[in-house]
């Protein structure tokens, strides 16, 4: 695709013309119309084989068609720095449904998946999930910063420069999610805690600024997605120290949220107050609609509707999860926030703890938060899918409740 304006196919009945940019609290397309990023995470490429899960069970192009058919408009696509450097082919057995990719390196498989997704008009958002390979995330995996004892910051930067150059001509690779879930890490025998705006060696705001500007030297059109501290749960530092790139209108902030981030039985009012203080304030009048906010991960066990507050008598589900779901659904809906479900996957890739090598998941293990059946072909829980699809259309923003601005 030629760089410049790229028009996605009619996803959620709206043509999305890239490049994307920001207008106050909204992401907008090349014509100034609001784009609500509403998508799914497809993971695995950041794990042991550097390979997205499911390619042994479904053709990547069929999977892309199914994602678009369900009206999602974006896919967050994690990778590891390790993956970008691998030159050996991945085992063919994990590509059984994609035989044309036999003999491919992890990066070549990633390329093919990106192409399949964007061919269906889906926006792809690469995310550096880990430095090394494995399952993310924990306080003990040594991958909470953008560097560690095995992977210097220069490798992290080089990986992003390579990813950016690789997809520069594909306008639907329209945003990049720089670093997954900032958290503590032990480096050089010292436990380091991420900071924001401090100017020291753990300052994520400074890192996002440096890396974002370097990315824009290669492709000035990309949105730069900046996750908050404490496993992407804390954006309080943005108020005093916003990320300010040389190219304006390109910063999006991201939070993650799961039931275990909150006390059990939390009231909806308390939940919304907590989330607003942690990062939702970025959208509001107090800071003039500083920037868009994207919930880059949130998810729940789709195996029982009790987890969604719809079947409290179930012996399988967890009613506390239902409380959390009703809270986050109300917040996302009322604040009209962008989001991305974790995960599309019904099955795992193989993943170890990157620091200890402890096996956490084997290839093919069930992913309880997945949206699809175990063969990767159909919807696992139609009620859950229906709820998510109801949250896709934007309610406010340029071109939604007012005429789009002339870019």
Helices 204-218 & 153-166 angle (0-180, nearest 10): 40
State how far the Cα of 197 lies from the Cα of 214, in Å rounded to an integer.
19
How much is the pLDDT for 313?
64
Beta-sheet pairing, 185-187 with 190-192: antiparallel
> Can you read off the two tokens belonging to residue 269?
């009012």
List Cα–Cα distances, 193 to 141, 247, 324, in angstroms: 14, 29, 28
3-state secondary structure 30-42: CCCCECCCEEEEC
| pLDDT tens digit at each of 407 positions of the chain | 334 555 554 344 357 999 999 999 999 999 999 999 999 999 999 999 999 999 999 999 999 999 999 999 999 999 999 999 999 999 999 999 999 999 999 999 999 999 999 999 999 999 999 999 999 999 999 999 999 999 999 999 999 999 999 999 999 999 999 999 999 999 999 999 999 999 999 999 999 999 999 999 999 999 999 999 999 999 999 999 999 999 999 999 999 999 999 999 999 999 999 999 999 999 986 555 899 999 999 999 999 999 999 986 665 567 889 999 999 999 999 999 999 999 999 999 999 999 999 999 999 999 999 999 999 999 999 999 999 999 999 999 999 865 444 43
Q: Which residue has the tokens 């042991």?
A: 48
Q: Which of 278, 301, 154 is nearest to 228 (CA)?
A: 278
Q: Which of 295, 198, 206, 286 is nearest to 244 (CA)?
A: 206
How much is the pLDDT for 4?
55
């Amino acid at each position: 695709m030629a760089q410049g304006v790229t028009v996605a196919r009619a996803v959620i009945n709206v043509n999305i013309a890239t490049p994307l940019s920001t207008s106050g609290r909204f992401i907008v397309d090349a014509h100034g119309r609001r784009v609500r990023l509403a998508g799914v995470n497809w993971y695995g490429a950041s794990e042991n084989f550097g390979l997205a899960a499911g390619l042994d069970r479904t053709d990547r192009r069929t999977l892309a068609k199914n994602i678009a058919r369900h009206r999602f408009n974006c896919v967050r696509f994690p990778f590891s720095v390790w993956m970008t450097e691998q030159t050996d082919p991945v085992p063919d057995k994990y590509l059984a449904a994609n035989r044309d990719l036999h003999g491919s390196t992890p990066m070549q498989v990633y390329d093919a998946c990106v192409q399949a997704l964007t061919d269906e008009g889906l926006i792809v958002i690469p995310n550096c999930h880990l430095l090394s390979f494995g399952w993310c995330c924990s306080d003990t995996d040594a991958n909470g910063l953008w560097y560690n004892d095995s992977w210097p910051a220069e490798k992290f930067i080089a990986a992003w420069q390579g990813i950016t150059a690789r997809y520069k001509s594909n306008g639907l690779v329209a945003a990049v999610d720089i670093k997954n879930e900032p958290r503590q890490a032990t480096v050089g025998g010292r436990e380091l805690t991420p900071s924001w705006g401090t100017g020291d060696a753990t300052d994520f705001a400074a890192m996002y600024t440096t890396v974002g500007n370097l990315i824009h030297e290669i492709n000035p059109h990309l949105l730069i997605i900046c996750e908050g501290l404490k496993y992407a749960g804390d954006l309080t530092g943005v108020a005093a120290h916003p990320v300010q790139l040389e190219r304006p209108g390109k910063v999006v902030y991201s939070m993650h949220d799961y039931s275990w981030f909150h006390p059990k039985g939390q009231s909806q009012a308390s939940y919304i107050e907590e989330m607003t203080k942690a990062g939702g304030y970025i959208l509001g009048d107090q800071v003039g609609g500083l920037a868009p906010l994207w919930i880059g991960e949130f998810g729940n066990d789709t195996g029982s509707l009790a987890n969604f507050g719809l079947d409290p008598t179930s012996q399988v589900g967890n009613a506390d999860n239902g409380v959390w779901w009703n809270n986050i659904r109300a917040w996302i809906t009322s604040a009209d926030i962008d989001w991305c479900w974790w995960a599309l996957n019904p099955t795992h890739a193989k993943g170890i703890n990157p620091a200890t090598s402890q096996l956490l998941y084997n290839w093919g293990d069930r992913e309880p938060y997945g949206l699809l059946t175990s063969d990767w072909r159909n919807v696992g829980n139609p009620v859950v899918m229906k709820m998510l699809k109801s949250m896709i259309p934007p309610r406010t923003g340029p071109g939604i409740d007012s005429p789009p601005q002339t870019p």
